[in-house]
Structure 1
Amino acid sequence: MTYKCAVLDDYQNVALSMADWSTVTDRVDVTVFNRHFETEEEAASAVGDCDIIVIMRERTPFPASMFARLPKLKLLITTGMRNASIDLAAAARYGVVVCGTEGAGEGTAELTWALILGLARNLTAENAALRTGGPWQSSIGVDLYGKKLGLLGLGRIGSRIARIGQAFDMEVMAWSQNLKEDRACSLGVRLAASKEELLAESDFVSVHLVLSDRTRGLLGEAELALMKPTAFLINTSRAPIVDQSALLEALRSGRIAGAGLDVFEREPLPEQDSFRTLPSVLATPHIGYVTEASYRAFYRGIVEDIAAFLGGSPIRELKN
């Protein structure tokens, strides 16, 4: 039997070159889609005859309605070992095995610092002026030395952000609902007494939490109002952790100095979305994980998942 496999949202058109697919192509016919399907109907129509579907992070959601449209689907593979856009209970009901991959790499931590530095030194405006013949020096940069870096979350990525912040001689503090003082102390980080204290004291607030029912909307109008008017918010985690309407209002009114964003509630971001044009926003198109090392690990894991499934022993299963 030959299985039909669709690889979705391969924006850079690299899926087949980032791993050795020869171990499975004798039994699997692979089709790659590098354009994003705007609707569920469009996606289901394109891949309705597939037994295996590969998705890149949350680019194409898989709610229960999507599984209902794909009666032939047997195996769904997502990059990473967590994907909030997949209804795992529905997958089980429809008899679909869901597997993940390892290999997130350090890209998100590194991009977080690109955003922090870009905001601090107003790099977007200064570079644009240089390229277009605008004013030579138009802004005054914000020093990182001696400033307070507040981290919402001190896991794998947050702890790396903390170490880099310390290298800049910043004072690093952190808070999350489950963070313990011994964990913070082991990293040389001050445990904030509360979320409110962290927001009020920090010059840069960076979000590194997993999206869940507890963290959705964690930063709303009241929380953003606690931040200094000179402070910056950076979010390379998941957009719904921050109330997007409240963030837009805080930026428009100047209640905070700016934001560095790599994640959005709707992706790709609509052309007319305000986050594309606000001068106080430095935004990137969810590229934190888009690095060569991550992609090679992702696609290698995808091939391993397919081979294991074909062999009758799926690996790295995601279950509800």
Structure 2
Amino acid sequence: MGLNVLVTPRSFAAHSSEPLDLLSDGGLTVLRNPHGRIMAKEEMIAHIAEADAVIVGVDPLDREVLEKAPRLKVIAKYGVGTDNIDMRFAQERGIKVTTTAGANTEAVADYAFALMLAAARRVLPIDKACREGDWTKRTAVDVNGRTLGLIGLGQIGKAVVRRAQGFGMRVLAYDAVRDEAFASAAGVRYAESVDDLLREADFVSLHVPLTEETRHMIGERELRLMKPTAVLINTARGGLVEENALCEALKNGTIWGAGIDVFEKEPPDNPELLSLDRLVIGSHCAASTVQAVDKMGVMASKQVLNHLQQLNGVETE
């Protein structure tokens, strides 16, 4: 019986055949997502039954889905966030879970900074007004020389720091695990608490995983701690921000603006968010560059092959 790999991300091998070639040359039959979108739970159950491996984006891989995948041996996350995967049950089943950590670091950091600039300088409402013949000058806020607060100082957070240095920004960070060597070398100061960071920062960018501890870590109380000229950026996970509270804060001018690439449900449940000119919206696309997509695809394919070959006693590079 041959080995099958289910591939759900729509961008997989979109710009290069190398990820697919690796799987095919390794003797795997590739089963593609036929829906052209994120699959629902029932669709995942239908397609995963014959899979020995899965390369997955944000499609659901909870216990109910995994129970319908008796042959599954490895899950390669096409990205880094594993909140759509029942990690505990995967471990119980002996299913290997990998991520493509590092493949999209620079792309996400670029996009975080793009959202920061767009929200601060009101790029979208100015563009919209100009297209309608309104050449009125709109006053915005500076990015250069201001204070950036990073909640999470992992690989992506550190990449954002490098960009902030070019804008002469002061950088505050909060992380449960401190990298004192990096902070010292990069001139980053650690805040004693998230609240302290929110009070001091002009820009707040989130770079933490979604867990029970971080879910809705930014809500009404936290938004009120921020400056009225502050900007919130989220390229991490939608569940980190309580969206109705953010909507009210933007409507009321509690904060200056926000750049949000990720929502709890995509598109968001609250349609009012889509009408706010203080909000720059992304479609969970921070990692979607040609270069990052190619890297993630190749890395995920190699992880699948390596694990399956190791199980079969085949030496891998």
CA contact (8 A) 2:109 2:160 kept: yes
Q: Per the alignment, in what secondary structure is the counterpart of residue 30 of structure 2? A: strand
The reply to whether residue 52 of structure 1 matches residue 41 of structure 2 is no
CA contact (8 A) 1:3 1:27 kept: yes
1:120 maps to amino acid: A
CA contact (8 A) 1:109 1:161 kept: yes
- Unpaired runs of at least 5, structure 2: 313-317
Q: Per the alignment, in what secondary structure is the counterpart of residue 112 of structure 1? A: helix
Q: Which residue of structure 2 aligns with residue 204 of structure 1?
A: 203
1:91 maps to amino acid: A
Q: 1:271 to 1:176 in 2, by over 3 A?
A: closer
Q: TM-score, normalised by structure 2?
A: 0.87
The reply to whether residue 283 of structure 1 matches residue 284 of structure 2 is no
More divergent stretch after superposition (194-203 vs 231-240)? 194-203
CA distance in 2, matches of 1:181, 1:137: 47
CA contact (8 A) 1:219 1:242 kept: yes
CA distance in 1, matches of 2:149, 2:26: 51
Q: CA deviation at 1:41?
A: 0.9
CA distance in 2, matches of 1:62, 1:128: 40
Q: Per the alignment, in what secondary structure is the counterpart of residue 311 of structure 1? A: helix
CA distance in 2, matches of 1:17, 1:23: 10
Q: Which residue of structure 1 aligns with residue 108 of structure 2?
A: 108
1:255-290 CA distances to partner (integer Å, 9 max, x unpaired)? 111110111112x31476333222211011111111
The reply to whether residue 308 of structure 1 matches residue 306 of structure 2 is yes
Q: How does 1:1-320 map to 2 (within 5 A)?
A: 1-11=1-11, 14=14, 17-19=17-19, 21-22=21-22, 24-25=24-25, 27-33=27-33, 35-56=36-57, 59-80=58-79, 82-102=81-101, 103-131=103-131, 133-179=132-178, 183-266=182-265, 268-270=266-268, 273-313=271-311
Q: Per the alignment, in what secondary structure is the counterpart of residue 98 of structure 1? A: strand
CA contact (8 A) 1:11 1:35 kept: no
2:21 maps to amino acid: W
2:165 maps to amino acid: Q
1:13-43 CA distances to partner (integer Å, 9 max, x unpaired)? 7187253525634632212226224521122
Q: Per the alignment, in what secondary structure is the counterpart of residue 118 of structure 1? A: helix
1:137-181 CA distances to partner (integer Å, 9 max, x unpaired)? 341222223322222222222222223223212222222333366
1:64 maps to amino acid: R
RMSD: 2.7
Q: 1:27 to 1:164 in 2, by over 3 A?
A: closer
Q: 1:150 to 1:83 in 2, by over 3 A?
A: same
Q: 1:105 to 1:208 in 2, by over 3 A?
A: closer
Q: 1:308 to 1:250 in 2, by over 3 A?
A: same
> Which structure: greater helix fraction?
2
Query: Between the two proteins, what is the percent identity of the paired residues?
Result: 32
Q: Per the alignment, in what secondary structure is the counterpart of residue 173 of structure 2? A: strand
1:302 maps to amino acid: A
Q: Per the alignment, in what secondary structure is the counterpart of residue 145 of structure 1? A: coil
1:210-251 CA distances to partner (integer Å, 9 max, x unpaired)? 333332232222111111112111111122222223222212
CA distance in 2, matches of 1:76, 1:70: 11
CA contact (8 A) 2:13 2:20 kept: no
Q: CA deviation at 1:182?
A: 5.6
CA distance in 2, matches of 1:260, 1:211: 18
Q: TM-score, normalised by structure 1?
A: 0.86
CA contact (8 A) 1:15 1:32 kept: no
2:167 maps to amino acid: F
CA contact (8 A) 1:24 1:303 kept: no
1:69 maps to amino acid: K
1:181-229 CA distances to partner (integer Å, 9 max, x unpaired)? 6653331123334322221222211112233333223222211111111
More divergent stretch after superposition (70-79 vs 225-234)? 70-79
CA distance in 1, matches of 2:268, 2:260: 15
2:304 maps to amino acid: I
Q: Per the alignment, in what secondary structure is the counterpart of residue 59 of structure 2? A: coil
1:246 maps to amino acid: A
CA distance in 1, matches of 2:172, 2:23: 47
More divergent stretch after superposition (83-92 vs 108-117)? 83-92
